[in-house]
């Protein structure tokens, strides 16, 4: 009887304590006003947020400090991997590269939304498709891969290749919007638009937050439930079944929508690939890592798999997999994702299989003196375009609005902006007045390629000065005097480098690379509109709140 009394007393105490905390959370401790209360202005505070959920298919990577750059070999003498100390924030990263089946879902979704048979959308679907001709070789019998690698079910779980940096970046944006759309449907905030055959609505997260009425083309029955409960005045009728329910519409402050997916920065990718947590002893790193796994060699030491390669790479001239009947890495082209052991963070194929695009614009030097916190080169600061009425401008939102297209240097035609997405413009000088942390909109070449970093730093801002990197210029459009048609004319000047503001970094070795490139510190570059049969990609998403969730331990638990 005494035990029952004690248990009841504890339960009542816990309940009172929880109610006390809830009441405190609903009230401003500094003003006394109640949050989420229509009688007190209905100011927002989310009290139900219990931590950020790991996005689907991702692994949490706890940030920290590490030595970015070359710690082993530099046999190419590129001098572009000088070691420097960098701090990286915590983030989430895909367990493995984006596969053919996942990218095919993106392509089919785009085709369903923007029917290529419609004149206005005729180039959108083709612009997202991988370049399958990257498999062709002038002296090779590889057409079977060009025809089957992307679409055949035998390669469904193989990493997608033939994707340019621009295409990978667009996939990240699409993934953000689809995950948020699915979240809103699952939570009952909007109707399941996939079940409505007559509705083909492009969903954009930022447009939804800015003006949801324009997202759903004026159909007020789709967005059916917001946040909170509306207070009805006496005599007011109840809202109809298809009418909007709730005190207000969803905002970013509610924590319902996921963080954007994007390509990892070079620092994030290298930090995740090195996974120095398995070399940590207390607050020190023991030794140096040459691969994504611990050790000096590329072969497995375990008894069961002794001698097998830990990654998919080219082992010598004509040696892509080993001898017949004794394949040491199991593949002669990209292998199925997750075919090799993960690194200490739980990430697969960070060395070998396919190289991967990262977000950064390439420069030979990582300027850690300018910034050693979450380093990234490639920022272009923008702001939402606002019309004369003060509304956010959404691209090609009306049925009659035409989609603007652009022609890339390789001749591919892409939409400048997808219909239904918010239009952005670069920030102006007025926006950066008296700022110290940034001064221009386009920061891709700041300190390395801009006028201030060249011998023309004393020239007037309006004066045109030679580029620091003598790279090819974009083709120009001219009229063919013979046919009268518009054609692209390539840059005919002698150029000395491919480094430009459109050159992007890719990291990691691939199935066609030698062992040297398996080192996560090695870096290469390619124009952002080009694709190959050995470069894929994976996505990351930012972690909000505390850096980590676990307790500190003296050593790695595996030791």
Q: Cα–Cα–Cα angle for 543, 547, 549, nearest 5°?
A: 100
**Residue 453 has which token pair?**
């970093």
Q: Is residue 556's pLDDT more than 60?
A: no
Which is more confident, 305 or 73?
Answer: 305
Using one digit for the tens of pLDDT, what is the confidence trace for 114-167?
A: 999 999 899 999 999 999 999 999 999 999 999 999 999 999 999 999 999 999
Which is more confident, 66 or 326?
Answer: 66
Beta strands in 431-539 (DSSP E): 476-479, 486-489, 503-507, 523-527, 535-536
Using one digit for the tens of pLDDT, what is the confidence trace for 172-186?
A: 999 999 999 999 999
Could you write out the three-class secondary structure of 237-288? CCCCCCCCECCECCCHHHCCCCCCEECCCHHHHHHHHHCHHHHEECCEECCC
Question: Helix, strand or coil for residue 378?
Answer: coil
Concatenating the DSSP letter of every residue in 188-204 gives TSB--GGG-TT------
**Residue 208 has which token pair?**
């939804």
Alpha-carbon torsion angle 226, 242, 205, 174, nearest 10? 140
Share of residues in the chain with pLDDT > 70 (%): 87
Q: Is residue 499's pLDDT more than 70?
A: yes
Which is more confident, 287 or 484?
Answer: 484
Give pLDDT, residue 497. 87
Alpha-carbon torsion angle 536, 537, 538, 542, nearest 10? 180
How far are the Cα atoms of 119, 138, 163, 181, 407 from residue 411, in angstroms, in the given order? Answer: 19, 21, 15, 33, 6
Give pLDDT, residue 197. 62
Alpha-carbon torsion angle 503, 504, 505, 506, nearest 10? -120
Q: Which of 75-89, 103-117, 245-259, 462-476 has the highest mean pLDDT?
A: 103-117
Give pLDDT, residue 368. 78
Question: Helix, strand or coil for residue 81?
Answer: coil
**pLDDT band at residue 8, thresholds of 50, 70 and 90?**
low
Q: Is residue 373's pLDDT more than 80?
A: yes
Backbone angles phi, psi at 452, to 5 degrees: -70, -20
Q: Is residue 321's pLDDT more than 90?
A: no
Give pLDDT, residue 21. 47
**In what order do the strands lie in the sheet containing 261-262?**
58-61, 91-94, 540-542, 261-262
Using one digit for the tens of pLDDT, what is the confidence trace for 152-208?
A: 999 999 999 999 999 999 999 999 999 999 999 999 888 888 887 655 778 999 999
Closest to 511 in 3D by CA, of 316, 356, 355: 355
Contact 334, 99 (CB under 8 A): no
Using one digit for the tens of pLDDT, what is the confidence trace for 269-319?
A: 999 999 988 888 777 777 778 889 888 888 888 888 888 889 999 989 999
Least confident of 268-277, 426-435, 451-460: 451-460
Q: Which of 61-70, 210-219, 301-310, 536-545 has the highest mean pLDDT?
A: 536-545
Number of helices (H), then strands (E), belonging to the chain: the values are 8, 20
Using one digit for the tens of pLDDT, what is the confidence trace for 51-72?
A: 788 999 999 999 999 999 876 7
**pLDDT band at residue 5, thresholds of 50, 70 and 90?**
low
Mean pLDDT of the chain: 85
Q: Is residue 238's pLDDT more than 90?
A: no
How distant is the alpha carbon of residue 391 from its chain centre?
Answer: 28
Give pLDDT, residue 47. 64
Contact 347, 275 (CB under 8 A): yes
**Rounded CA gap, 170 and 502, in Å?**
16
Q: Is residue 20's pLDDT more than 60?
A: no
Instruction: Give the up-direction half-sphere exposure of residue 231: CA atoms within 13 A in the CB hemisphere.
Output: 8
The most distant pair of C-alpha atoms in the chain lies apart, rounded to whole Å, by: 103
Give pLDDT, residue 247. 72
Give pLDDT, residue 233. 66
**Rounded CA gap, 214 and 478, in Å?**
38
Share of residues in the chain with pLDDT > 90 (%): 47
**pLDDT band at residue 3, thresholds of 50, 70 and 90?**
low
Which is more confident, 450 or 179?
Answer: 179
Contact 90, 543 (CB under 8 A): yes
**pLDDT band at residue 558, thresholds of 50, 70 and 90?**
very low
- What letter would DSSP give residue 306? T
| Start-to-end Cα distance in the chain | 49
Rg (CA), the chain: 27
- Residue whose tokens read 């600061």: 381
Give pLDDT, residue 559. 39
């Amino acid at each position: 009887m005494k035990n029952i009394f004690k248990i009841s007393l504890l339960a009542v105490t816990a309940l009172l304590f929880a109610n006390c905390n809830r009441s405190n959370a609903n009230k401003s401790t500094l003003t006394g006003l109640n949050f989420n209360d229509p009688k007190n202005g209905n100011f927002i505070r989310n009290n139900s947020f219990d931590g950020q959920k790991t996005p689907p298919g991702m692994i949490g990577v706890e940030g920290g400090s590490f030595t970015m750059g070359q710690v082993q070999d530099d046999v190419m003498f590129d001098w572009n991997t000088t070691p420097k100390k960098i701090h990286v924030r915590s983030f989430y990263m895909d367990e493995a590269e984006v596969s053919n089946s996942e990218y095919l879902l993106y392509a089919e979704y785009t085709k369903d939304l923007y029917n290529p048979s419609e004149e206005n959308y005729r180039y959108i679907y083709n612009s997202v498709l991988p370049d399958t001709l990257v498999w062709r070789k002038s002296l090779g019998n590889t057409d079977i891969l060009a025809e089957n690698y992307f679409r055949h079910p035998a390669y469904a779980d193989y990493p997608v290749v033939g994707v340019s940096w621009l295409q990978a970046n667009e996939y990240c944006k699409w993934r953000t919007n689809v995950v948020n759309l699915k979240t809103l449907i699952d939570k009952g905030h909007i109707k399941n638009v996939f079940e409505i055959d007559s509705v083909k609505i492009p969903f954009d997260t930022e447009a939804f937050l800015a003006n949801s009425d324009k997202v759903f083309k004026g159909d007020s029955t789709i967005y059916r439930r917001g946040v909170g409960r509306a207070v009805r005045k006496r005599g007011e009728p109840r809202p109809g079944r298809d009418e909007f329910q709730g005190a207000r519409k969803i905002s970013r402050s509610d924590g319902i929508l996921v963080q954007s997916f994007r390509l990892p920065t070079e620092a994030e990718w290298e930090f995740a690939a090195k996974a120095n947590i398995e070399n940590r002893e207390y607050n020190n790193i023991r030794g140096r890592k040459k691969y994504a796994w611990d050790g000096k060699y590329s072969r497995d030491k375990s008894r069961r798999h002794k001698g097998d390669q830990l990654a998919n790479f080219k082992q010598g001239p004509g040696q892509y997999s080993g001898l017949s009947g004794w394949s040491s890495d199991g593949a002669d082209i990209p292998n199925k994702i997750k075919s090799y052991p993960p690194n200490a963070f739980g990430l697969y194929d960070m060395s070998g299989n396919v190289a991967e695009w990262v977000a950064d614009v390439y420069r030979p030097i990582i300027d850690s003196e300018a910034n050693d916190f979450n380093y990234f080169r490639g920022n272009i600061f923008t702001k939402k375009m606002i019309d004369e009425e003060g509304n956010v401008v959404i691209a090609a939102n009306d049925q009659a609005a035409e989609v603007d297209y652009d022609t890339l240097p390789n001749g591919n035609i892409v939409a400048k902006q997808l219909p239904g997405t918010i239009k952005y413009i670069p920030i102006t000088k007025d926006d950066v007045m008296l700022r110290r942390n940034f001064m221009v909109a386009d920061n891709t070449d700041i300190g390395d390629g801009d006028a201030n970093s060249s011998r023309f730093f004393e020239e007037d801002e309006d004066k045109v000065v030679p580029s620091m990197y003598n790279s090819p210029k974009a083709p120009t459009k001219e009229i063919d005097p013979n046919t009268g048609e518009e054609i692209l004319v390539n840059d005919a000047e002698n150029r000395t480098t491919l480094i430009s503001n459109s050159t992007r970094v890719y990291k990691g070795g691939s199935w066609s690379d030698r062992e040297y490139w398996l080192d996560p510190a090695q870096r290469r570059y390619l124009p952002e509109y080009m694709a190959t049969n050995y470069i894929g990609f994976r996505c990351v998403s930012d972690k909000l709140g505390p850096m980590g969730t676990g307790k500190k331990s003296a050593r790695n638990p595996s030791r």
